[in-house]
Amino acid sequence: KLVSREFRPEDTIVDVNGAKVGGKHLAVMAGPCAVESREQLMEAAECVKKGGATFLRGGAFKPRTSPYDFQGLAEKGLAMLKEAGEKFDLRVVTEVVNQNDIDMISNYADVLQIGARNMQNFQLLKEVGKTHKPVLLKRGLSATISEWLNAAEYIANEGNYNIILCERGIRTYETFTRNTLDLSAVAAVKELSHLPVIADPSHGTGRWQMVRPMARAAVAAGADGLIIEVHPHPECALSDGDQSLTPKNFEATMAEVKKIAAIM
């Protein structure tokens, strides 16, 4: 398998226009779940930069559980992401839910995110595999590690090796948390694959109170980075407010995870 350690013993470092994911440094991607307005995004981006992250995340196409929930600002949101990314020198990560939008989204974003719900959308995987854009591949809600690595294989098989894996929590019998963040999968992926793997303690827990401790744990477990939801006013967020950090909490989280990364 192309993504296996046997095929390539050394760690892959994905270079996103100079910002690296994998190897020794901790890559942090942060920003709102969804781009809601120019003001909201600019405020979030400023805080993301201040905290020391190098990537700005934000959804413009949201795969919401209910069709009546906010679906995202589409291309208008992408333009805001590009503007914020340029203003604060942050690489832009955003989700692609439809293969017909790949070229359009590529004009605005540096990393194409494949969401958990699309992890086994094989046509979508093949199409992002035909591009040269770095891909952030989230683990499916009920996917085994093997299924997740096979999804990465679909992308690599088309010629694109710029893949970043993301553990974002899986569905278990537990209901207190939104998902169960499977940090053992981070260690497993490090053993099985040369690809970088980051953790998403926001979707992995669904509760802002748990994001900071699980971010620390993920870095201690060997994650190459984190993706964290940050909102200037989480109580007003149009999606995932319960799991979004305030700017102040994000900065404190960053200070802690940097210390842990330094001794890894």
Contact status: 22 vs ligand PEP (CB under 6 A): no
Instruction: Write the interaction track for ligand PEP spanning residues 49-88; mark x where CB under 6 A is met and - where it is not.
Output: ----------x---x-------------------------
* Pairing mode of beta strands 14-16, 19-21: antiparallel
Residues 75-103 as b/e (b if ≥16 CB within 10 A, e otherwise) read eebbbbbbbbbeebebbbbbbbbebebbe
Quick one: tokens of 99? 């293969």
Q: Which stretch binds Mn ion (CB under 5 A): 126-134, 138-146, 193-201, 238-246?
A: 238-246
Q: Among 73-81, 112-120, 125-133, 250-258, which window interacts with ligand PEP (CB under 6 A)?
A: 112-120
| Site membership for ligand PEP, residue 91 (CB under 6 A) | no
29-37, 81-89, 213-221, 248-256 -> range binding Mn ion (CB under 5 A):
29-37
Per CB under 6 A, 206 contacts ligand PEP: no
Sign of CA dihedral 70, 76, 60, 79: negative
DSSP 175: -
Indicate the Cα dihedral angle 103, 37, 41, 162, nearest 10°: -20
Binding mask 130-149 vs ligand PEP (x if CB under 6 A, - otherwise)? --------x-----------
> Smaller CB distance to ligand PEP: residue 168 or 231?
168
Determine the length of the chain: 264
Binding site for ligand PEP (CB under 6 A): 33, 59, 63, 115-117, 138, 168, 203
